Amino acid sequence: MKRIGIALLSSLCLIAMNDALPAQSYEFRGGFPTAETAQRVQDEQDVQRAIQAYRFFYPTVSMEATFQGQRDTGVKDNEAALILSGGPRHTLFTGNSDTPYMGTTVNLKLFGPTVIELPPGPYLGIVNDHHFGWVADIGLPGEDAGKGGKHLILPPDFKGETPSGYYTARSKTNFILIGARALPPDGDMTAGLEAQRKIKIYPLSKAINPPAYDFVDRTSEKIDITLLRWEDNIQFWEKLHKVVQEEPPIEEFRPMTGMLAMLGIEQGKPFAPDNRMKAILERAARMGRDQMLVAGFASARPDRVVWPDRKWEYATLRFENGGFELPTGIDLEARDRWFSQAVGMSPKMVLRTPGAGSLYWLGLRDGTGAFLDGSKTYKLSVPQPVPQKLFWSITVYDTATRSQIQTDQDKAALRSLVELKDTPKAGMTDLYFGPAPPAGQQGQWIKTIPEKGWFVYLRLYGPDGPAFDGSWKPGDFEEVR
């Protein structure tokens, strides 16, 4: 994020040129624009600015939706954490059913420096700021490396001395998300949920006698912690205005906050767009969302391809760090691609290193290159053994919600620790996806919805060497006729 302001303006200008190119040349008379040209230019400029602001601040509003989704379940900031064993009833961008989740919203402005105390164990956790910016890793990917320890998160304006004995990081925003997953022993999700309850979260000021932190299990309830209800309408901008009021300005964001000010979103001022600006902002929200989905589902970049002879793609295009950084700037398409279909970011999430964290592959086309169709039945052949040290899974997502597919099967994942635990450890494992299961294949089948598109994430936890060197690879989706 350090170089984001430097490369941002030139990158955005190039993209904006393609976002709303004039259908005809502008008319000038005596060197001056006509009234019609001036109005057209002003409208087009505002649309261009709004589209780029939308795409840049999409992660910000997505995080606000994460906070609000937790609050909607009755989980209060600074008091409780939401825990759940994920499933189709939970609307969460590419959430999984592999590991139980824990998430809590902490307002550092009220809490002050905040302690996250982890017991030893297989936790995978992150702290992200209000813009989905990376603050810290905790657990196995963090400095405690799964051995347990105390992490201290400082507010953006903290000026005191930090005590010893903590792994310390500073947030750029007042509101943060603390998220953790607990690897379930032998697929025991209940044990994974209980492990989440052992995490302690409290203000540093109360470290001598930490207050209790509640953990609220919403596994069996429908929840929505996405911005789907806001992303294509004026509510997107209303929520963004709310965040701008709550958070301190960030130096690297100055070009973009300046753009927001020209759209009527500015710190310390009300958001009151007139009919013209409201129409422009709503149009930009629809266009911006659709452009991000193109980056997510139909990128033309060659570096998205995992294997030249397969249709599998990398879910994330930048793997060097958690900030989508190029040597000279920010990879904006990679950023759009990730946040159009996912949440959370950490350098450890995107490493392509044997044994490190997890590896996500995106499947959305069959072997012919056609998008996956919920009306058809497909077979996917997975060679055994899968090169992983922990476990692997494949999860089906609805393209409209980018969340686990919801059908009367009430299942969206096939997991090596659960549904596939008794499959042979050699040879080929065939998995099926379609409106109805092939005869005798109910246990290795996920139901899809006719006339609707879908995609998958194939996840390897603790991926091993063959997953990276090309000596192991799954087949493509093949239509079963």
Residue 471, domain member (yes or no): no
119 and 243 fall within a common domain: no
22 and 100 fall within a common domain: no
Using DSSP, state whether 284 is helix, strand or coil.
helix
What mean pLDDT is predicted for residues 11-22? 48
201 and 60 fall within a common domain: no
- The CATH number that applies at residue 38 is 1.10.3360.10
- What was the pLDDT predicted at 317? 86
79 and 60 fall within a common domain: no
Last residue of a domain, one of 182, 204, 224: 224
Q: How confident is the model at residue 23 (pLDDT cuts 50, 70, 90)?
A: low
Last residue of a domain, one of 224, 241, 260: 224
The least confident of 145-154, 343-352, 358-367, 421-430 is 343-352
141 and 178 fall within a common domain: yes
Last residue of a domain, one of 275, 296, 317: 296
Long-range contacts from 72-75, C-beta under 8 angstroms, 24+ separation = 72/223, 72/224, 73/216, 73/218, 73/221, 73/223, 74/216, 75/104, 75/105, 75/216, 75/218
45 and 153 fall within a common domain: no
Q: Could you report the per-residue pLDDT of 57-73, keeping only the tens digit for each?
A: 999 999 999 999 999 99
- What was the pLDDT predicted at 116? 98
77 and 220 fall within a common domain: yes
Q: Could you report the per-residue pLDDT of 98-132, keeping only the tens digit for each?
A: 999 999 999 999 999 999 999 999 999 999 999 99
Parent domain of 78: 73-224
Alpha helices in 73-160 (DSSP H): 108-111
184 and 60 fall within a common domain: no
- What is the Cα–Cα distance from 248 to 220, expressed in whole angstroms? 37
Higher pLDDT residue, 168 or 9? 168
Q: How confident is the model at residue 355 (pLDDT cuts 50, 70, 90)?
A: low
119 and 165 fall within a common domain: yes
Q: Could you report the per-residue pLDDT of 242-274, keeping only the tens digit for each?
A: 999 999 999 989 999 999 999 999 999 999 999
The least confident of 178-182, 189-193, 314-318, 447-451 is 314-318
Residue 312, domain member (yes or no): no
Residue 33, domain member (yes or no): yes
- What was the pLDDT predicted at 319? 67
